[in-house]
Structure 1
């Protein structure tokens, strides 16, 4: 039996501002965001 997640055409990931912004500087946490994008791209390439 396939799960609803396997059949989903789109998955929404909610990311809070505490992860997106560095607390000390108030700047975008670009290294974390780049790593997240790499992880998502790798999963898509595997067909996940």
Structure 2
């Protein structure tokens, strides 16, 4: 889920290659999920943390 990947997104900032696309494989994710686009994954919004 996005909640599981969110800490890794923060830790992986500056890394050249990371594999954090797990939430894209889910049929449904949490409310306020991580945002993915052509540039990659974006940092989580405060709403994701609850």
| TM-score bracket relative to the smaller structure | under 0.3
Structure whose alpha-carbon radius of gyration is higher:
1
Higher helix share: 1
TM-score (norm 2): 0.25
TM-score (norm 1): 0.25
